[in-house]
Amino acid sequence: MAFAGSAIGLGNIWRFPYTAGEGGGAAFVLVFIVATLVLSLPIFMAESVIGRRSGSNCLGAMRKLAPNKFWMAFGALSVFTPLFIASYYSIVGGWSLEFLFKSLTLSFTGTDPQSVSGIFFSFTAGTWGPIITFTLFLGLTCLIPAFGVTSGIERFSKISIPILFVIIVGVAIYSLSLPGSRGGVEYLLKPDFSRLTLKACANAVGQSFYSLSLGMGIIITYSSYVKKSENIMSSAVGTSVSALLFSVIAGLAIMPAVFSAGINPGSGPGLIFETLPFIFSSMGESLPWLSAAVAILFFLTVLVAALTSSISLIEVGIAYLVEEKKINRKLAALICFGGIWAAGMICVLLPGLFDVFDLISSNLLMPLCALLGVIFVGWIMGKADTYDELTSGGSFKGGAHKAVFFATKYIAPIMIVAILLFNLL
């Protein structure tokens, strides 16, 4: 559930619908699915191997498994990347907190559906509102892992993830009932390959990385807590399938409403915050009590999704400080809060940098970390140690681990290099 909590978050609810919209719809979705199963799944397993084999945080893992400056630098980059992502990710988390507040105050009920999407732009154009919600969200994010892995992260994930699935399915069902929703369904599920560009394909792979938390040090960190008796291959498959399923359901919750509202599907990061108020306002015209209840539940869901992912980002930094610097976990959480808050404030005060931060992380940092991870497992750790981890010391039979190792050693590095070169050129 902790793995799923990391994978199922704003990357699915917030980022997937708008990147699919920008990428042309169903053809993008198809590339996203293939990329997840063919490329991202072996990378997930490779990072799991590093984490469990070392039993340490990202930097500690390299110190144990390959104590030289190059691989130590990879470990350090794997600690920096998720904290960098958290700096702008927490801004989006703050948006979810604001919209939960607006749903609690019935701001979407009784409002003209065609004008309600302007609420998002009014909020983000302000100064103090985004600062306050960003700070509150980041504080809440740091508070949960401060209580530890079992008492904090695991307990939160076990409760929140099943609730998340139930509510997003409910919203999708209502969204599909809206007038004009068929256009959104066709856009999402009927491929038009004439819309598919190389850039869209690269973005689909990047979204797959983002969805599964690859190249962020998260899988390495979480896997270091996994018992040797657990099957990390089945965990990887279960997490990947859950993330794929949730992304498609989230798309079906958002895209039909986008077409019903007449909103441009490629309108960018604010897409769900424009679209969902339209859904709830439309619902409120006939069923105001239901509109208010569903709005509260949905934005509570968005907030939970944001938290499950942001907690995993912060945990990478906390684990590093606790294990390497021997700092108390609560103090480590406070230090992470301070550093991320300072970086995030740059994006809050200079909104134009939001997209820049996102591009740097998704197009450079994450693919680079993923590339170094698969090279390390495929070429440095070697076959024997990798097989030992993938089969849990021979406890799990079958030949799947051989295919995973082949993909990790040969296929994944070539594909990631191609993506990196495309992103940089």
Dist. CA 190–CA 169, nearest whole Å: 20
Rounded to an integer, the average pLDDT of 49-54 is 96
Quick: pLDDT tens for 177-231.
Answer: 888 899 999 999 888 888 889 889 988 998 999 889 999 999 999 999 898 889 9
Q: Which residues contact 139 (CB under 8 A, 6 or more apart)?
A: 337
pLDDT at 184: 92
* pLDDT higher than threshold 70 for residue 2: no
Rounded to an integer, the average pLDDT of 48-66 is 96
Burial of 150 (0-12, 13-18, 19+ CB in 10 A): exposed
Quick: pLDDT tens for 276-313.
Answer: 787 777 766 666 777 778 788 778 878 887 888 898 89
Quick: pLDDT tens for 170-179.
Answer: 888 888 988 8
pTM: 0.90
End-to-end CA separation in angstroms for the chain: 38
pLDDT at 339: 97
Dist. CA 275–CA 65, nearest whole Å: 48
pLDDT at 338: 97
Rounded to an integer, the average pLDDT of 359-382 is 94
Dist. CA 416–CA 425, nearest whole Å: 14
Quick: pLDDT tens for 114-173.
Answer: 667 678 888 988 889 999 999 999 999 999 888 876 656 667 767 777 777 888 888 888
Quick: pLDDT tens for 324-363.
Answer: 999 999 999 999 999 999 999 999 999 889 999 998 998 8
pLDDT at 114: 62
For tokens 């997003």, the residue is 168
Quick: pLDDT tens for 386-421.
Answer: 999 999 988 888 889 999 999 999 999 999 999 999
pLDDT band of residue 1 (cuts 50, 70, 90) is: low
* pLDDT higher than threshold 90 for residue 384: yes
More confident site: 110 or 80: 80
pLDDT at 113: 58
Domain 2-424: CATH class, spelled out: mainly alpha
Q: Three-state SS across 219-252?
A: HHHHHCCCCCCCCHHHHHHHHHHHHHHHHHHHHH
**Residue 226, both tokens:** 């996994």
3-state secondary structure of 327: coil
Q: Do 299 and 138 form a contact (C-beta atoms < 8 A)?
A: no
pLDDT at 205: 92
Rounded to an integer, the average pLDDT of 368-375 is 97
Q: Which residues contact 45 (CB under 8 A, 6 or more apart)?
A: 232, 233, 236, 390, 404, 408
pLDDT at 92: 92
